[in-house]
Amino acid sequence: MCDIRTLCRKNQAHISHCANCQTVYIWHNNLVLNFTPQDFQLFYETLEHQHFHDCSMIFPDGEERVVVHSPCRDISFTFTQPEWRDMKDAMSEAILLQQVYELIR
């Protein structure tokens, strides 16, 4: 049975992991993505190399957003600039907390 622990929460960005199986979950609005710890690290590194204004576009509602493909190519996140900052900050904090939990294990 999973023992879900929150690693970080920043507004709509919520990142948690299972203390038993180590699955990492990214919850954002109505999406939940599951990652192995290694895949989460790779996804984090990918986001860290992207800059909002380099890859953002104006959506039909007039809002500027960035599109981020998930590991499943059929599913993509879209983030406004504040959501983008929240997600990147949350992932960064989650990585650090994962490292702390790993030291404790």
Per-residue pLDDT reduced to its tens digit, 34-83: 999 999 999 899 888 899 999 899 999 999 999 988 777 788 889 999 99
Rounded to the nearest integer, the mean pLDDT of the chain is 90
> HSE (CB half, 13 Å, CA atoms) of 34?
6
Contacts of 14-18 with CB under 8 Å at 24 or more apart are 14/90, 15/90, 15/91, 15/93, 15/94, 17/94, 17/98, 17/101
Structure tokens of 2? 């999973």
Percent of the chain with pLDDT over 90: 58
Alpha carbons 78 and 63: distance in angstroms, whole number: 11
Question: Does this model's pTM top 0.75?
Answer: yes
Domain boundaries, the chain: 4-104
